[in-house]
Amino acid sequence: MTMKDKAKNFFQVSRGRAKEATGNAIGNPDLEAEGRHDQRAGDLKQAGEKVKDAFRKR
């Protein structure tokens, strides 16, 4: 996993957490759902990169 990809994925997860917290604070369920979606997408991208790294090492 390149550092650039790692940073982008981390930022996406962090942005999702912020959106979810903001949506919860202002009572906007759509924003909460969007935040959860961003978090999951970032986590899946990180998992995919880890799988790629595992195969590159062999």
Helices (H), the chain: 3-26, 29-57
- pLDDT band of residue 1 (cuts 50, 70, 90) is low
Q: What is the pLDDT of residue 2?
A: 76
pLDDT digits (tens, 9 = 90+) for 3-16: 888 899 999 999 99
Q: What is the pLDDT of residue 55?
A: 87
Question: Among all chains, which residue has been given the structure tokens 């990169």?
Answer: 49
**Tokens in use for 56?**
């590159």
Task: Report the predicted TM-score, pTM, of the whole model to 2 decimal places.
Answer: 0.83
Judged against a pLDDT cut of 80, whether residue 21 lies above it is answered with yes
C-alpha 14/C-alpha 38 separation (Å) is: 9
